[in-house]
Chains A and B, each alone.
Chain A
């Protein structure tokens, strides 16, 4: 007997609830319980057999009520916290349950069905009563029940016909049918005091209504898509909403002096990816919210980002400094630069005043005045050392070392650097534990770059450096990593100098991307003979660069091991946080943003007017400090680090996973790397651990512009992905470093036209013996088949065979070799398996062991021959195919849109010398819906299939028959992809994708 166990599930979460120090989140039929302070998962408990949990309510008595579709269940919290399943408590009813609540005694349950009826039943699952109001039969998309007392309970129901029906579920008396929305109502709730009704709709608005009069009070606009869920909090003074637009918004319910009620949008949080935030709850004592979304993420949100510890956004004009802080300012005097420190801030004015801001007392004081800094100054500093460096354009510098509290200048150094008559840029970085480094650049392009190493204690010059400046080089950032000076320049160029060598020649990495300023350089990791650092570019690109260095710090070569672009305006800097996540920051329209790029969520944002202003950003232990000038006023924003984890679950894709591929040829750490390609146009590179079963995502690749069709590893370190618009990308995986794997776009396939509109439906690869070159077959939505040769030395694809099947779309392709012949097996949407013999057409020879040999011929393009054979297996499109060559036969497993699965065996007909196929095994009604994917596993003796009906099946195929041995329901809707891997212990892992992702274990 074989067995399947579900190990990990990640998919849409439809509802979340706080209770004491827990967060309860529904994942399909499961309830996952977290401690929100630590992020620890307390338990995962199966609540329903198949149906998804759409809502939960927690009673005072310690019972939990969960419902979804036609299922409802009441179970003790103590069991939910400990047990694997409470499914035995599940009840089923005849109609969809829109909402459910305990009654006042908590001995009975009220259930609002989609036909606007209330079913009352008790904890022994006995029906007690059915309540309804006559004549209202329109189907409901939403509704809720509010219980005030034994004899006071209301149902509020939102219909598809734009109405909101309010009725007393005890007396069955209808109060109002509120019309005003345009479009279906997706949620409607009553306030805790029972005075207000809030509803949200297809029309993207939120409306407040007076419960007593039924009068429409106000409409809140802001969301850019449908709104799914609402919740009142703060004694009904606030409302929180979540939407299809990925945001969570906080509204204040304000009452004007005339008594008019208004909804004022207070805060917008971009909480989830691509589409749909489904659930939200608020923990008022902590002032935090939790949201759940289609991407499977559980996000914790700070509801008081700018007021948690007081006033976290402060603004000061120079005039105010004169009046309130007694620092006399001249007319027209301006802030010219500033640097955040632990104690607060040091700023310089256009008249050379050096000011100190103490963030504890919120007071400003004048430290000194240096008239040399009048009109032009560049301000930098080393925050850890309390050192500020200010330069003017005449190569004059002021270096200050300040006391812990910033109130006194411990050391002051005024320098004039004689080697340069003028400076246009001055950059500062940490040199080592004891010193800092100042880089000065002259406006004259023929002048060399000058460097100064200063002691942190004495501020005396330890060493001076001169570096040759490459052509067209304009400094924009500086960093010192392991005796290497790395200077970022305009035109996406980086110059590297060895500080130990006499000769200060530059190792230049030119034009990494399209060509904006390099804004920052971050050290990532060190290898025996190499270094990895990341650079950010203002236009949104960031790159991870590996440089190979000798013992004498000679740079041999460099390699860009990762490159990606953020779709968020200007990218100004990056760092690696304590969880090893890659954090970036910059400007997007009028906002400054701080974004976790590894996990794909925003950490904070601040309205500041945009990138074109003076600003500075520094990280401290518990907070970040952003300082910027807007309208001549200096603003200081303290961004507190949330004391709880930002996510309780990171989530995966916001939309359907279209393909999964495991890098099965080689393990990684204690598990395997895998890629998921999604309808959201992204590819994620993730890892699953075979012991803990945890999933960890490293990167989100954004290079595709349309939804993914396929992705597949073709070797240890190469992966190919395809999508519409004729996109086929070849990726290189790099797992040499300890820190994280990297996957970089190596090449893309040439397209047949400038504005391609064909979809590359599938591909197949056959390597050329003893090389990393390969032959690639691509099939298209217009019936085209192309064979390419990839030359790894040149990193180029060359078209070698081209042709067309008929006019219908092609869906799957596989190369197979058999009897020293190379075949390409293709399936179209007409239900045939089509076999092309391309042995003659391809200009590579086949060895006796059926491998391709490069015979160094000049490759020319040839025509695709007519197919050798074809056989009709399915009624309509073949959705997936897997192939196997065994004992001189070719076995083709196909699954179809016709709910069927087939095994077709091809053998060489000795008289015609051609392959002939017969369908050996065919199951007509294998599933109730399209069978979307299949994969051979367990040493090719089993076949896994997935179908949209969510029944996963496993067939034993060892006897050339399809013998069903396992079937199991998956909670992943729109099930569309799978991959498998056999482990050394004889078990296999099955990865199943759709709207979400599941990891299963199969054992014999």
Chain B
């Protein structure tokens, strides 16, 4: 989100700059929370933000969990902890512990557990998305693999009854993902905040009430694939997929849809006129966060 954005019409972009968020996506989490109130729970203690860079979700987590509290005011024994993980470097955020690490690696899991004093997390979220190639099926697959990688770590760290929230793209195979998630959570909802454009396939899965199947022991191992990790999730051995078999139709379930953010909030598809935008702010705003490792600094 630099000084000049392609999408000047976007009110959320201006609003994000004004409120000091690193990306407009902050509003997506805020609007999800407006609907589900997962961040308003006074018992919310340990939170993990995966694929966190540039950090707008971590900012939202920090602001809602530590409302008005300075970092210096937090006591040693405060159980509230936010850990943000990404392969990319990230600028500091108050109350957030940053980990530059691979979410699929067991070491990362151990680090987080260490920071949580071996307690499990209440809430895990991921706003990550890979670069797209334009091959719709491959892009969707890679996005789902990213979610499954996040989910791998989540299953090892989330407490029973905990919440998992992640960005999805509602493409052809999204119902396969809903089916998988259905094995692990009491409720799986496809939520679309008003700040996410209607023209975009983006939405968020909100998975409520983590219930690992009895007898299933998730274990992160760098040498096993995501598929292998989740094998055995289904107790029905007849339905265990073999390495290769004749084509069959897989089980597909459609998750409940929920629009978030309320009708009074801004419509991300609309063009707002100056009077509306001016009500927010009419000063030229500098980028909120300088790039951590800008391309222009590299030798080419």
Interface residues of A (CB under 8 A from B): 14, 48-52, 54, 68-69, 71-72, 87, 90-96, 114-115, 117, 119, 121, 125-127, 130, 134-135, 137, 139, 141, 160, 184, 186, 202, 226, 244, 275-276, 278, 294, 757-759, 780-783, 807-809, 811, 829-831, 875-877, 879, 897-900, 924-925, 927-930, 948-950, 973-974, 995
Contacts and interface: CB of A to CB of B under 8 A. Distances in A.
A52 B141 CA distance: 13
B136 A995 contact: yes
Contacts of A126: 244
A928 B254 contact: yes
Contacts of A202: 131
B175 interface: yes
B192 A69 contact: no
B171 A949 contact: yes
Nearest to A951: B172
A92 B227 CA distance: 14
B110 interface: no
Interface of B: 8-9, 104, 130-131, 133-138, 141-142, 145, 170-172, 174-175, 178, 190, 192, 194, 198, 201, 222-223, 225-227, 241-248, 252, 254, 256-259, 263, 266-267, 269-273, 276
Contacts of A130: 243
Contacts of B194: 876
Contacts of A90: 246-247
A716 to B, nearest CB: 32
A876 B270 contact: no
A247 B293 CA distance: 32
24 contacts: A92-B248, A121-B243, A121-B244, A126-B244, A127-B242, A141-B138, A186-B133, A244-B134, A759-B271, A782-B270, A783-B270, A807-B267, A807-B276, A809-B198, A829-B267, A879-B198, A898-B259, A924-B257, A928-B252, A929-B170, A930-B170, A949-B171, A949-B174, A949-B175
Nearest to B9: A757
B272 to A, nearest CB: 7
Given A127-B243, A928-B254, A782 B170 contact: no
B267 A875 contact: no
Given A115-B225, A782-B270, A899-B257, A94 B198 contact: no
Given A949-B175, A974-B136, 15 more contacts: A54-B138, A115-B226, A127-B243, A127-B244, A135-B223, A141-B133, A160-B130, A757-B8, A781-B269, A807-B270, A829-B270, A831-B259, A930-B170, A948-B171, A949-B172
B243 A69 contact: no
B170 A948 contact: yes
8 closest A-B pairs (Cβ-Cβ)?
A: A929-B170, A875-B259, A808-B267, A973-B136, A877-B198, A876-B259, A809-B269, A809-B270
Contacts of B257: 875, 898-900, 924-925
B104 A137 contact: yes
A875 B194 CA distance: 10
B244 A829 contact: no
B243 A94 contact: yes
A414 to B, nearest CB: 65
A137 B225 CA distance: 7
B271 A137 contact: no
A463 B276 CA distance: 75
B246 A91 contact: yes
Contacts of B269: 781, 808-809, 829, 877
Nearest to A897: B198
Contact of B243 (A93, A114, A135, A950): A93
A431 B171 CA distance: 63
A137 B223 contact: yes
A125 B245 contact: yes
Contacts of A68: 137
Given A121-B244, A780-B271, A897-B192, A930 B201 contact: yes
A925 B256 contact: yes
A93 B247 CA distance: 9
A776 B270 CA distance: 22
Contacts of A276: 134
Main secondary structure of the interface of B (DSSP, over half): loop
A782 B172 contact: no
Given A87-B247, A93-B244, A202-B131, A809 B104 contact: no
Contacts of B170: 928-930, 948-949
B172 A139 contact: no
A92 B245 contact: yes
B174 A14 contact: no
Given A829-B269, A925-B257, A928-B174, A184 B131 contact: yes
A52 B244 contact: no
Main secondary structure of the interface of A (DSSP, over half): loop
Contacts of B136: 973-974, 995
A950 B258 CA distance: 21
- B190, B222, B257, B266: most-surrounded residue (chain A CB, <10 A): B257
A256 B57 CA distance: 54
Nearest to B276: A807
A936 to B, nearest CB: 23
Nearest to A121: B244
Contacts of B267: 807-809, 829-830
Contacts of A134: 223
Contacts of B138: 54, 69, 96, 141
A529 B176 CA distance: 64
A91 B171 contact: no
Contacts of A117: 225
Nearest to A98: B138
A139 B103 CA distance: 13
A995 B241 CA distance: 31
B270 A808 contact: yes
Contacts of B270: 781-783, 807-809, 829
Contacts of A808: 263, 267, 269-270
Contacts of A52: 137
B249 to A, nearest CB: 8
A141 B131 CA distance: 11
Contacts of A49: 247
Contacts of A830: 263, 267
B219 to A, nearest CB: 15
Nearest to B222: A137
Nearest to A926: B254
Contacts of B133: 141, 186, 226
A48 to B, nearest CB: 8
Given A830-B263, A928-B175, A995-B136, A757 B243 contact: no
A272 to B, nearest CB: 12
Contacts of A949: 170-172, 174-175
- A68, A117, A783, A808: most-surrounded residue (chain B CB, <10 A): A808
B73 to A, nearest CB: 40
Contacts of A927: 254
Given A781-B270, A973-B137, A929 B244 contact: no
- B133, B263, B271: most-surrounded residue (chain A CB, <10 A): B271
Contact of A757 (B141, B223, B259, B271): B271
Contacts of B263: 808, 830
A128 B246 CA distance: 15
A919 B145 CA distance: 39
Nearest to B298: A182
A71 B252 contact: no
A475 to B, nearest CB: 47
Contacts of A948: 170-172, 201
A362 to B, nearest CB: 47
Contacts of B130: 160
B272 A876 contact: no
Nearest to B139: A973
Nearest to A761: B269
Contacts of B171: 929, 948-949, 973
Contacts of A50: 172
- A117, A829, A830: most-surrounded residue (chain B CB, <10 A): A829
Nearest to B87: A161
Given A925-B256, A928-B170, A95 B135 contact: no
